[in-house]
Amino acid sequence: MNNPADLVTPKLIQYCSRFPFIAICGFTKTGKITIARKLAQELQRDLIISDNYSLEVYGDQTLEAFMGAIEKKLAANTPVIAEGILCFRMLRKGIQLRTLFPDLVIKTECDEPTIRHFYKKDGEVHKVDKALAFNKGLTKIWNDYQQLLTATPGIKKPEYLELNTSLLRYGL
């Protein structure tokens, strides 16, 4: 098994089927979109991809546009999977605004050598140092979210799953 989609097993699909709103977050190049696409296909769910909400198009309203798309689906009782690095900010902002609470958070975990490998494989080795620094910022946002989750009374706490997509996990 050397593809993150292989982590989307029948057992995972069955487990996820009971959650109307699933958020998939993780560092860059950790298999989020691969896992999200396979899970959305298997569950026949709408998928909202954070990469579709770029700064170039949405400017300083990027997060609001992403969250708005999710809220629109949920208001129509449409089960949805939201994917991407914006999910970190969405999780934190959802608690701050008390508006958007996923039923399940899936977080991809991946070691640095694997991240470097995929930047090299994708011909983007020049981006790796910036991405690793960016990932440190995502860690801070995740930690803020965890603190808010613990410190904010009366909010719905999600189920949590961690999927390790490191190449060493696969024995490669």
What's the helix, strand, coil split of the chain in %, to 5?
A: 60, 15, 25
CA distances (Å), 81 to each of 19, 73, 147, in order?
A: 10, 10, 24
Tell me the per-residue pLDDT of 105-156, one tens digit each, with 9 for 90 and over: 999 999 999 899 889 989 999 999 999 999 999 999 999 999 999 999 988 8
Instruction: Give the Cα separation of 71 and 20 in Å (integer).
Output: 12
> How many of the other CB atoms lie within 10 Å of CB of 150?
9
Cβ atoms within 10 Å, residue 126: 8
Please give the Cα distance from 97 to 95 (Å, whole number): 5
Instruction: Tell me the whole-structure pTM to 2 decimals.
Output: 0.93
> Confidence band (pLDDT; 50, 70, 90) for 54?
confident
For residue 7, the model assigns a pLDDT of 92
Grouping H, G, I as helix, E, B as strand and the rest as coil, residue 15 is helix
DSSP state of 111: -
- Residue 168: which pLDDT band, with cuts at 50, 70 and 90? low
Per-chain mean pLDDT for the chain: 92
What's residue 172's pLDDT?
A: 45
pLDDT tens for residues 25-34? Answer: 999 899 999 9
Q: What percent of the chain has pLDDT over 70?
A: 96
Domains and CATH numbers, the chain: 4-166 (3.40.50.300)
